[in-house]
Chain A
Amino acid sequence: MAIDPKKHEMPTQEPAVRARNFKEVALGYEEDVAVAEALRCLNCKNKPCVSGCPVNIRIPEFIAKIKEGDFEAAYQIISTTSSLPAVCGRVCPQETQCEQKCTLGIRFEPVAIGRLERFVADWHNAHSTEAPAAAPANGHRVAVVGSGPSGLTCAGDLAKKGYKVTVYEALHTAGGVLVYGIPEFRLPKTIVAKEVDTLKSLGVDVETNVVIGKTLTVDELFDMGYEAVFIGSGAGLPNFMNIPGEAYKGVYSANEFLTRSNLMKAYKDEPDTPIMKGGKVAVVGGGNVAMDAARTALRLGAEKVYIVYRRSMDELPARREEVEHAEEEGIEFRLLTNPVEILGYNNENDPRDAKNGFVTSIKCIKMQLGEPDEKGRRRPVPIAGSEFTLDVDVVIMAIGTSPNPLIKNTTNGLEVNSHGGIIVNEGGLTSRASVYAGGDAVTGAATVISAMGAGKIAAKSIDEYLSAKN
């Protein structure tokens, strides 16, 4: 049988329809499509895809089970190495990981590994009624700080080995960036909740509303009897550009805008938490967070949404798929453009004018690409005299985040680098004995899957450390 050179297409909601709702964009494969896609896998000897996966999912093995139509068995294979398959199948950048290494990809399009992973996880969630059983307890207790992807992965891996794990979450809902950051239309919150429930049935305790560094310190966790602590507190603090006008009403960090919409459900009708809807919106930045913010603004009813990015499309760091989706939905990309000032309404004659202090426009300058910087990316340089203004009501700064210092400031002997990232060795161990860390708290803002990989490595190290203590 000849191999289909192309991946089976992912069915999606029509752009014009989805641009105005918060339902998931990608609809997922049907069973017959999944089997047909699985049949494209050559089951090659070297399995390069596995090495391309930060958590080393046994990809050809689970795909072989799909070929047989045994979807539950496929799920069981994935779940031996991944705690969050339904999440990864949706948000992983497979094009730069497993799929990039796929042997089939040398001549044709690679196997749609991510879509198959998602299919298997969704199939399991829809059909399986049995909660996974907790492993026999080994008597050791571990505390995990933060319930984002690294924390959940670390907790899951340790729980499967019989550790009694407690996950501490500062917010009122578990999931970290999966619930406050990534929008519903890309990752439905019911899926995150389901993954958290799976961990709970493995015996993991999740304590929300506990801010480590405030409510409890890392030292107190040891006093409470935990033998190791994993810090997966994420990259908390949003960066601003430090240009004039950032204090005007209508200027948000992407974190704030997305948290209001996602975690606080401001996208619903008559929400308790307000958000500025409608009007014209400029999102500054070119990463996945910028795409999420822009597409969220559109769905909240914006008449026009711009992405303002200082480099060109080639350097734009967001996933291709997200950029294409955003373009299809009508988001306008203003590339090689950089904001220099945000302008606001100010009625000199009437200080009580209700419009005072709200954003009216953003002043930008055109850029051109100059010499490459130390990372090899061509540095954007302003073109003198090219300033212009865009009329907008809302400006969303999506230019990255810095690690949250709350834990560093309250934990003696925890060393951080110049960016505030916690310093760890290759096993995830920090400068403090028995304290491990991973994810954005270490690297600064990165991807869900790299955080999961770090959680996995730390879990392995913690297991080796605590089993040697016996």
Chain B
Amino acid sequence: MIRAYHWLLPHPFLTLLLTVVWVLLQNSVTSGMVVFGLILGIIIPRVTVVWWPDRPRAFRLTRMIPYMLLVLWDILVANVQVAWIVLTRPNSKLRPAWVVVPLELKQPEAITILAGTITLTPGTVSADLSDEGHSLLVHALDAPDPDEIRDQIKERYERRLKGIFV
């Protein structure tokens, strides 16, 4: 039974996501569209399973949603801060800096989300990962104290992501 389930739904979350995207694309929530979306959501992961060899990693959805809200809020706050810097600070007083963030996260999915979060919050852009994946290179627009930005990233995002991907 479980094997049949794994065969039919190799990536249950992807199935759900494809169904939701299909319904949103159609712009109307009718049962026909939901069923058609479900059919697509089952066929597409099944056909592309060769390229997704690993089982999806479990993550805690209950902690993912507060994390997404936190990131949205940070995007808003940081946007205003960066807009203020752009409008008022002359270039000579700007202190851009590279920040090296040592990573405790191991899973590729978690590191991807962390890098995406850093880029989406204005003022910091994640540039590269080290060759063995132990640290992340981040460029900060205005960093009088690079260590503070590093600690903030670790404290605010990485610690929460460690709780999401166990």
Q: Do A and B bind each other?
A: no
